[in-house]
Structure 1
Amino acid sequence: MASKRAQGKEIKRNKVIDAAEHLFFSKGFAQTTMDDLCAQAHLSKRTLYVYFNSKDQLYFEIMIRGYKQLITMLEENQQSLPVIDRLKQMAYTVYQFSVLYPDYFTAIFSYENRAADFEKGVPDASKEECYRLGEQVFQKLTDLIEEGQNSGIFRRKPDAVQTAVILWSCLHGILNTAKVKKNYLASFHSIPSDSLIRQAFEVIIRSICIDSGGDC
Structure 2
Amino acid sequence: MGKEDRKAREKERRRNQIIDAAERIIFSKGLEQATMDEIAAEAELSKGTLYLYFKNKTELYLAITQRGSDLLNSQFAKVFAGGHEHTGLELIRLLGETYLNFVRENPNYFNAFMYYESLSNVEELKSSKHAERCEENRREALNFMIRALQIGMQDGTVNDSYEPKELAVVILSSTRGITAMSHMHGTGYHFEMLDEMEISVDMLFENFLKLVGAGIASDDARKRWMTDSHNFETNGK
Same topology, TM > 0.5: yes
What is the deviation of 1:90? 0.8
Aligned CA RMSD, in angstroms, stands at 2.9
Alpha carbons of 1:34 and 1:175: their partners in 2 closer, same or farther (altered >3 Å)? Answer: same
**TM-score normalized with structure 2 length:** 0.75
Among candidates 212, 224, 233, match of residue 215 of structure 1: 224
CA offsets 1:124-177 (integer angstroms, 9 cap, x no match): 3322222222221121012222344566633645x3223222211211121222
After TM superposition, which residue ranges in structure 1, 4 or more long, deviate above 6 angstroms?
none
Alignment match, 1:16 = 18
The structure whose residues are more often helix, as a share, is: 2
When structure 1 is superposed on structure 2, of 25-34 and 184-193 the one drifting more is 184-193
Distance 1:195 1:12 in 2: 44
**Cα distance in 2 for residues equivalent to 1:24 and 1:210:** 46
Q: Which runs of 5+ in 1 are unaligned?
A: none
What amino acid does structure 1 have at the position aligned with 2:122?
A: A
User: 2:65 aligned to 63, 66, 76, which one?
Assistant: 63
Q: Distance in 1 between matches of 2:182 and 2:61?
A: 25
**Identical positions, percent:** 27
TM-score by length of 1: 0.81
**C-alpha distance after superposition, 1:10-64 (max 9, x if no partner):** 2221121112212222222233332332233232222112111122221221122
1:164-194: per-residue Cα shift (whole Å, max 9, x none)? 2221121112122234346868854554433
Q: Distance in 2 between matches of 1:5 and 1:194?
A: 48
CA–CA separation in structure 1 for the residues paired with 2:124 and 2:61: 16
Distance across 2 between alignment mates of 1:203 and 1:64? 31
Aligned residues: 213
SS at 1:180's partner residue?
helix
Question: For 2:115 and 2:9, how far apart are their aligned partners in 1?
Answer: 33
In 2 relative to 1, CA 96–196 (structure 1 residues): closer, same or farther, beyond 3 Å? same
Q: Which residue number in structure 2 is paired with residue 96 of structure 1?
A: 101
Q: Specify which of 175, 178, 203 is matched with residue 179 of structure 2.
A: 175
Deviation larger for 93-102 or 54-63: 54-63
